[in-house]
């Protein structure tokens, strides 16, 4: 199948998500006894084979909204349609949602502006905006100003997660995705990401206590850490680190996402974040065909990829 970075990313994230859904919350130790090697069904959420979660649903909502252009109100509206109208659900029903995401969408439906709906306290640093940010990279693919990229990432993250830590994690992830879309290899993209981000923050009055939290990604090489040093909870910093670690310590799409799932805990989100990047790196045709065959709503996802590709001229 002839594909491009949009197909690679959206199918990549959805497949990772679907691999993780049946074993969400299982410990790393439990998964070492019975590691995930392919698609499973039922399990944690009692969902059929190939079912993706809120991670993919909200990514698809963002992508679908971006097909019309960038409009924060419209993005938030699509999120509300998902929660209350089952829009972009795999089987017509929402079965999983994070607390912060639910609270933010509830505020929006009561008239709150999406610019100020997201939680902004330190406790509000789950991975609920990181898991869905990837489609924004295609809207930003021709943007040459890092400041503009940061501002849009901040706006889209802040619909549900407005604390600097969540925003900055999304920013690093988006910069890395943009470097991959430019067809840099994963190592060059990682080096370039560190250069771009560190250069960007040099003259900013960002809280140094926040910036230092990202040292394992920005000042060091995250891939040099052992698996025991990588965490896979629902905390945004853990998810960013785990996703990059899985990418940089693997040599194929399947190895990347299976490594992410088998880290345990927040398996679907770690694999979503990993899978979107791995899809861009290795391509749609390197995703196992039997995984794609059982993916929920694959034709609808393909149509969405086609619309987004045309809108932003991604070839």
255: DSSP letter: H
The strand pairing partners of 235, in sequence order, are: 126
The per-residue pLDDT string of the chain (315 residues; one tens digit each, 9 = 90 and over) reads: 678 999 999 999 999 999 999 999 999 999 999 999 999 999 999 999 999 999 999 999 999 999 999 999 999 999 999 999 999 999 999 999 999 999 999 999 999 999 999 999 999 999 999 999 999 999 999 999 999 999 999 999 999 999 999 999 999 999 999 999 999 999 999 999 999 999 999 999 999 999 999 999 999 999 999 999 999 999 999 999 999 999 999 999 999 999 999 999 999 999 999 999 999 999 999 999 999 999 999 999 999 999 999 999 998
Residues 167 and 111: beta-carbon distance below 8 Å = no
pLDDT for 145 equals: 98
Question: Within 13 A of 65's CA, how many CA atoms are on the CB side?
Answer: 26
- Interatomic CA distance for residues 284 and 166, integer angstroms: 29
- Interatomic CA distance for residues 141 and 92, integer angstroms: 32
Q: From residue 256, give the alpha-carbon distance in Å to each of 70, 77, 123, 153, 221.
A: 31, 33, 29, 25, 17
Residues 28 and 262: beta-carbon distance below 8 Å = yes
Nearest to 284 by CA among 253, 315, 310: 253
- Interatomic CA distance for residues 27 and 32, integer angstroms: 9
> Within 10 Å of residue 32's Cβ, how many Cβ atoms?
10
SS3 270: helix
Nearest to 102 by CA among 128, 73, 121: 128
- Interatomic CA distance for residues 243 and 236, integer angstroms: 11
- Interatomic CA distance for residues 55 and 14, integer angstroms: 8
């Amino acid at each position: 199948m002839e594909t491009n970075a949009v197909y690679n990313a959206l199918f990549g994230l959805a497949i990772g998500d679907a691999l993780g859904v049946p074993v969400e919350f299982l410990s790393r130790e439990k998964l070492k006894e019975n590691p995930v090697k392919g698609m499973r069904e039922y399990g944690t959420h009692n969902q059929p084979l190939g079912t993706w979660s809120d991670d993919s649903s909200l990514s698809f909502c963002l992508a679908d909204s971006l097909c019309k252009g960038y409009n924060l109100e419209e993005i938030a509206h699509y999120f509300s349609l998902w929660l209350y109208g089952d829009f972009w659900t795999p089987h017509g029903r929402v079965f999983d949602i994070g607390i912060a995401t639910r609270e933010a969408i509830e505020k929006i439906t009561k008239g709150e502006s999406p610019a100020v709906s997201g939680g902004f306290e330190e406790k509000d640093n789950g991975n609920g905006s990181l898991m869905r940010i990837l489609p924004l990279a295609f809207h930003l693919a021709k943007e040459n100003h890092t400041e503009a990229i940061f501002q849009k990432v901040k706006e889209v993250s802040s619909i549900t997660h407005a604390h600097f830590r969540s925003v900055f994690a999304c920013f690093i992830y988006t910069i890395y995705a943009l470097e991959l879309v430019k067809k840099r290899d994963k190592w060059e993209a990682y080096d370039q990401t560190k250069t771009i981000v560190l250069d960007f923050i040099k003259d900013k009055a960002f809280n140094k206590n926040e910036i230092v939290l990202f040292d394992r990604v920005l000042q060091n090489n995250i891939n040099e850490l052992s698996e025991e040093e990588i965490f896979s909870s629902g905390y945004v910093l853990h998810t960013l680190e785990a996703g990059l670690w899985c990418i940089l310590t693997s040599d194929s799409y399947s190895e990347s996402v299976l490594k992410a799932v088998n880290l345990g805990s927040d398996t679907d989100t770690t694999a979503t974040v990993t899978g979107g990047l791995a899809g861009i790196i290795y391509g749609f045709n390197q995703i196992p065909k039997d995984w794609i065959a059982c993916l929920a709503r694959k034709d609808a996802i393909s149509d969405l990829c086609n619309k987004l590709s045309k809108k932003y001229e991604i070839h």
